[in-house]
Chains A and B, each alone.
Chain A
């Protein structure tokens, strides 16, 4: 009796069912409605971009892992998230070769150079986005009209730009995003349009409602820290309300600030990147507030119309400090953490 080899491992011998790959996969599902809507609004261009960015990220991840003699890590789904997020932050009609480059940079520079999943101190998708923003400032600020009638039949000309060449001059339409319109022309887009995504903008940032839905799904499944979007939105809300109350002419209302630009997308899907955000609940509050304040500062006083990306990157840069400074009080110790255990 009992002739099989026993297996031994350390306690606990049971684990909660949720694995890292489950979390990552669910994030992808949560982004699906947003991506779907993006395809509905911007057509083939958006679809191609999503595919290109995801392919670039997954491929880079796979190849780099192979090159460094490790097991391929694409099965954890994190590269897919990066790819999809990157695509969602780019304007529709963005040349595919640039998208591909962004994906390579996001994974290679933003993730793999740091040691892969779990060690990237910045959100890889945002690193890719920031790289593209700096490298191709014109292309990335060229917006296309939503609901173009022929969007499912043909692709925007600039999408298929030959690699390494300049995209053709701006298409017929070059609308301003609501934020740019506000910044440069002081025009306020109605909240209804903003919420439903009836506006030009990046592929995935237009429909605030669907993004929020995805976020709620993740929160409900316990796969996202609800404090991050809540604190960001709260900070933006409070700060911009104060400004708005002080001078309603010069400063837009908090609703406009919430719904415009990439704030929703950033707050729900980018800032919540577990790896690059603080771990402690209090740290998370500080992190979210910092990002929120920075977003408002950059949007209102900065040179650029949008600052969510930069705000999150800066938040990422600060999060190691928050992990060190804002920590829970250990059971049975006084408030100060640094008291040495005797």
Chain B
């Protein structure tokens, strides 16, 4: 089954931003040092915040549970280092708001040996047990969305998952974490796939990889165990192929219905790094303590793919990689969907797949926003076949309800393709983000009344 499929079918529209992956794609993953003080927000994932189970001043060892899941749509948090709980209070987060969190002081001379938990055996554990184990390991989507993985894997009553898709597309420019993970952690990935196949009861598994990572695809195809119903599919390079819906369309030719989930078309998509993490952690019953982050961008001297403990402050990271002191812009994530950072005292969280740094001279920010000239470039870029031009115009006049009701605003997943191509540099994605929030707010207030 381990045949290398080269597929030319892809999804409609999309864009081709310059990749910039050559700086880091050849650099192996390196361990990052432990920062003296870690910042651990309770909301590193989408959903209910975790609840601290430690108190200030308590000593914890690496891998110990710091906070338990706050509910089903929540995951626990484990200590990334051995140290002492310095303070429990407000910590700054990427969203610009404060959130509850834990400051953890690292023991400077600790060996940082991780504690082992109860292993989950892939052959014996039941479906439910695996899901529980995934939640207990604090695993969320490492591709960027940080959605609790166990929720995603739970096949609802009456639905069936026939295909498990492992997302190794990594379509964001600059980022090479998934690329490196695929090259270096193939065994973990295959182990993870075993867990996932069991958890989802899927019949087959496809690993989707873009053609610019041919070596990874070949490596995976070459060393895949023969007993796995596994296919490696190479896809043409296009952004945003890594988006769930786009990947499903590209691989299976199915369209996830508007407002629906991949499971509605019998597919579940899991990021390749998440898969590797599952494969590595579950046999040891550990929780996530670190993740692979690509640190790159023209403002960084020691570019590379680093294994960074969760909670490492961004400032520490940047100082270590010798970022340009004239730093002007820092993004967490890729340039297309990543978030600009306003405060360097925020931590690396589970969802952070990359750190990009630029100095003022290296940013080409369009200074002038022209009115929409109806060129239609956004329409031909939007992978969801929306009409961003129309939406943008409506957003400008705050016609949010019309956007949602008549123009499928809620189908937009903010991939940024429209803003990328817009010759008038209209901040379309920002408009849509705002509009979506306003629509949700109004819907809430409506149901509240």
Question: Which residue of B245, B330, B335, B408 is within 8 Å of A12 (Cβ)?
Answer: B335
- Contact flag A330-B408 (CB < 8 Å), given A12-B336, A13-B340, A15-B422: yes
Instruction: Give the contacts of A299-335 with B (CB-CB under 8 A).
Output: 323, 327-333
By beta carbon, the residue of chain A nearest B416 is A12
Give every chain B residue within 8 A of A22 (Cβ-Cβ): 423
- One digit per residue, 1 when the CB lies within 8 angstroms of any chain B CB and 0 when it does not, for chain A 1-32 equals 11111111111111110111111000000000
Counting contact residues on chain B (CB < 8 A from A), the size range is 35 or more
Q: Which of A43-51, A84-92, A116-124, A240-248 interfaces with chain B?
A: A116-124
- Contact flag A332-B258 (CB < 8 Å), given A16-B17, A19-B423: yes
- Contact flag A225-B423 (CB < 8 Å), given A6-B341, A327-B387, A332-B257: no
- Contact flag A14-B387 (CB < 8 Å), given A19-B370, A333-B257: no
CB distance from A93 to the nearest CB of B (A): 34
Instruction: Give the contacts of A91-120 with B (CB-CB under 8 A).
Output: 115-119
A154 within 8 Å of B by Cβ? no
Cβ-defined contact, B429 with A323, below 8 A: no
Q: How far is the CA of A117 from the CA of B363 in the complex (A)?
A: 27
Question: Which residue of A10, A13, A276, A278 is within 8 Å of B329 (Cβ)?
Answer: A13
Instruction: Give the contacts of A277-294 with B (CB-CB under 8 A).
Output: 277-281, 284
Cβ-defined contact, A340 with B389, below 8 A: no
Cβ-defined contact, B385 with A7, below 8 A: no
Give every chain B residue within 8 A of A76 (Cβ-Cβ): 370
Cβ-defined contact, A333 with B329, below 8 A: no
Cβ-defined contact, B420 with A331, below 8 A: no
A341 within 8 Å of B by Cβ? yes
Cβ-defined contact, B385 with A274, below 8 A: no
Give every chain B residue within 8 A of A15 (Cβ-Cβ): 364, 366, 419-420, 422, 425
Question: Which residue of A11, A280, A340, A342 is within 8 Å of B387 (Cβ)?
Answer: A280
Cβ-defined contact, B339 with A11, below 8 A: yes
By beta carbon, the residue of chain A nearest B255 is A332
Cβ-defined contact, B404 with A341, below 8 A: yes
Q: Which of B2-10, B230-238, B319-327 interfaces with chain A?
A: B319-327
Give every chain A residue within 8 A of B204 (Cβ-Cβ): none
Question: Which residue of A11, A277, A329 is within 8 Å of B414 (Cβ)?
Answer: A11
- Contact flag A2-B318 (CB < 8 Å), given A274-B375, A341-B411: yes
B433 within 8 Å of A by Cβ? yes
B196 within 8 Å of A by Cβ? no
Cβ-defined contact, B328 with A330, below 8 A: no
B342 within 8 Å of A by Cβ? yes
Which one of A7, A11, A281, A333 has the greatest number of beta carbons of chain B within 10 Å? A11
By beta carbon, the residue of chain A nearest B257 is A332
- Contact flag A2-B257 (CB < 8 Å), given A11-B338, A332-B411: no
B158 within 8 Å of A by Cβ? no
Question: Which residue of A5, A10, A340 is within 8 Å of B433 (Cβ)?
Answer: A10
CB distance from B447 to the nearest CB of A (A): 14
Question: Which residue of B326, B384, B433 is within 8 Å of A330 (Cβ)?
Answer: B384
Cβ-defined contact, B366 with A1, below 8 A: no
By beta carbon, the residue of chain A nearest B256 is A332
Give every chain A residue within 8 A of B364 (Cβ-Cβ): 15
- Contact flag A331-B411 (CB < 8 Å), given A11-B416, A13-B340, A20-B370: yes
- Contact flag A7-B376 (CB < 8 Å), given A12-B420, A331-B385, A333-B258: no
The prevalent SS among residues of B at the interface is loop
B374 within 8 Å of A by Cβ? yes
- Contact flag A330-B385 (CB < 8 Å), given A11-B416, A21-B370: yes
Give every chain A residue within 8 A of B319 (Cβ-Cβ): 1
Cβ-defined contact, A16 with B421, below 8 A: yes
Instruction: Give the contacts of B369-424 with A (CB-CB under 8 A).
Output: 370-376, 379-380, 383-387, 389-390, 404-406, 408-411, 414, 416-417, 419-424
Q: How far is the CA of A11 from the CA of B365 in the complex (A)?
A: 12
Q: How far is the CA of A12 from the CA of B172 in the complex (A)?
A: 10
Q: How far is the CA of A233 from the CA of B185 in the complex (A)?
A: 58
Question: Which residue of B260, B338, B424 is within 8 Å of A13 (Cβ)?
Answer: B338
The prevalent SS among residues of A at the interface is loop
B360 within 8 Å of A by Cβ? yes
Q: What number of A residues sit within 8 Å (CB to CB) of B?
A: 50
- Contact flag A7-B420 (CB < 8 Å), given A15-B366, A280-B376: no
Instruction: Give the contacts of B68-88 with A (CB-CB under 8 A).
Output: none
Q: How far is the CA of A114 from the CA of B254 in the complex (A)?
A: 44
Instruction: Give the contacts of A199-243 with B (CB-CB under 8 A).
Output: 225
Give every chain A residue within 8 A of B293 (Cβ-Cβ): none
CB distance from B380 to the nearest CB of A (A): 7
- One digit per residue, 1 when the CB lies within 8 angstroms of any chain A CB and 0 when it does not, for chain B 331-360 equals 101011111111110000000000010001
Give every chain B residue within 8 A of A5 (Cβ-Cβ): 328
By beta carbon, the residue of chain B nearest A21 is B370
Give every chain A residue within 8 A of B408 (Cβ-Cβ): 330, 333, 341
Give every chain A residue within 8 A of B330 (Cβ-Cβ): 6
Give every chain A residue within 8 A of B336 (Cβ-Cβ): 11-14
By beta carbon, the residue of chain A nearest B388 is A279
B15 within 8 Å of A by Cβ? yes
- Contact flag A274-B376 (CB < 8 Å), given A11-B335, A15-B366, A16-B421: yes
- One digit per residue, 1 when the CB lies within 8 angstroms of any chain A CB and 0 when it does not, for chain B 6-39 equals 0000001001011000000000000000000000
B194 within 8 Å of A by Cβ? no
Question: Which residue of A14, A274, A276, A278 is within 8 Å of B17 (Cβ)?
Answer: A14
By beta carbon, the residue of chain A nearest B376 is A279
Q: How far is the CA of A99 from the CA of B18 in the complex (A)?
A: 46
Give every chain A residue within 8 A of B419 (Cβ-Cβ): 11-12, 15
Cβ-defined contact, A119 with B371, below 8 A: yes
Give every chain B residue within 8 A of A18 (Cβ-Cβ): 423
Cβ-defined contact, A330 with B420, below 8 A: no
Give every chain B residue within 8 A of A10 (Cβ-Cβ): 340, 427, 429-430, 433
B173 within 8 Å of A by Cβ? yes
Q: How far is the CA of A8 from the CA of B390 in the complex (A)?
A: 26
Question: Which residue of B372, B374, B387, B411 is within 8 Å of A328 (Cβ)?
Answer: B387
Cβ-defined contact, A6 with B335, below 8 A: no
Cβ-defined contact, B325 with A16, below 8 A: no
Cβ-defined contact, A323 with B325, below 8 A: no
Give every chain A residue within 8 A of B326 (Cβ-Cβ): 4
Which one of A12, A18, A19, A284 has the greatest number of beta carbons of chain B within 10 Å? A12
Cβ-defined contact, B329 with A6, below 8 A: yes
Cβ-defined contact, A118 with B372, below 8 A: yes
Q: How far is the CA of A342 from the CA of B338 in the complex (A)?
A: 28
Instruction: Give the contacts of B125-169 with A (CB-CB under 8 A).
Output: none
12 additional A-B pairs beyond A6-B342, A274-B375, A281-B376, beta carbons within 8 Å, are A6-B327, A10-B340, A10-B427, A11-B416, A13-B340, A13-B356, A23-B423, A117-B371, A117-B373, A118-B424, A274-B374, A332-B259
Contact sample, A vs B, 6 pairs, CB 8 Å cutoff: A118-B372, A275-B373, A280-B387, A281-B380, A340-B405, A341-B408
- Closest CB pairs A-B (n = 10): A118-B371, A12-B416, A10-B430, A279-B376, A8-B340, A20-B370, A332-B258, A328-B385, A331-B384, A12-B336
Chain A residues close to B by CB (< 8 Å): 1-16, 18-23, 76, 115-119, 225, 274-281, 284, 323, 327-333, 338, 340-342
